Amino acid sequence: MICVVCAISFLVLFARLLYVLFQVHYNDTSTPLHRVPPTFPKPVRLLAVAGSGGHTAELLQLLAAATAAPSSKSSCLSFSTRHYIVAKTDSMSQDKIEQFETTRNTETSVVISKIPRAREVGQSYLTSILTTVYSQLFCIPHVLRARPDILLVNGPGTCIPVCVFVFLLRVLGLCRGKIVYVESICRVNTLSLSAKILVFFADHVLVQWPQLASSYRCKYIGRLVS
């Protein structure tokens, strides 16, 4: 009896996983799928992963355009929560984020969480696997609290555990988790390792140099970051 229940639930989960992967790989918005595209609740829950230094600066530049400064009247996405995940050893990113958020509207709630870094710069790939698993466990409670509608990532290795867990929650139907990956402007000729991993399950992989756009599923969006 229990075997039957386990087998059926495993099949259902596997079918759901295939469905989400299909949704992700065929999300060409010019030709919508046969059903109405999913609608977000009006204020959007955002989760952003801030990596070391340069990544955070680029991320904040992207968000500056998406969010409203108190004086501006332009309409943009309204966020109900902006949740940032920074690495534990990275106090500079936290300061930059706090400074950025003071210049924004105070209607959205802002949360900053810290997780252990998944991979130091230049760390060997072998030990990176261990540290990634370690930071994966730590990011679970924060992602469950955030339950994002949009996950915005920029490139640091720390983002991979978060992306994997958000994708898992999306397969289980616990959050809407659209993953948007914006490749850093420094990657001119080759994709970063994070991008190569995320090509498999991110909704959008956006690159800022046209020569990268010929890689599978990368969209060239111009040089967004100055």
Partner 1 sequence: MEKEIWVPVTFTHIEYPKGDTLGMILAWFSLLPSFTVISFIPVIVLRRDLTTIFFFMGMFVNEGVNQVLKRVIAEPRPSRTASTVQWSQYGMPSAHSQFAGYFAMFVVLLFYVRISVVTFIIPLAKIWKHVLAAVTVLVSLAICYSRHYLKYHTEKQICAGFLVGLAIGAVWFIILEKFAGPYFPIIASMPICEMLLIKDYSLIPNTLWCEYHCIKTEMRSRAKKYIRPE
Interacting residues toward partner 1 by CB under 8 A: 41, 147, 170, 172-176
Least distance between partner 1 and beta carbon 158 (Å)? 26
Q: Give the SS3 label for residue 186.
A: coil
Give whichever of 169 and 218 is closer to partner 1, judged by the CB atom.
169
In degrees, rounded to 5, the angle at the alpha carbon of residue 147 between the alpha carbons of residues 141 and 151 is 105
Instruction: Say if CB 113 and CB 94 are below 8 A apart.
Output: no
CB 175 → partner 1: shortest distance, Å? 7
Q: Which residue, 55 or 178, has its beta carbon nearer to partner 1?
A: 178
* CB distance 219 to 213 below 8 Å: yes
Residue among 175 and 182 whose Cβ is closer to partner 1: 175
Beta carbon of residue 76, minimum distance to partner 1 (angstroms, whole number): 23
Q: How far is the CB of 78 from partner 1 (least distance, A)?
A: 17
At residue 76, what are phi and psi to the nearest 5 degrees?
-145, -175
d(C-alpha 115, C-alpha 159), whole Å: 10
For residue 171, what are its two tokens?
A: 């397969």
Q: Which residues of 177-200 are buried (b: 16+ CB within 10 A; e: fewer)?
A: bbbbbbbbbebeeebbebbebbbe
Minimum gap (Å) between residue 174 Cβ and partner 1:
5
Closer residue to partner 1 (CB): 148 or 161: 148
88 versus 147: smaller Cβ distance to partner 1: 147
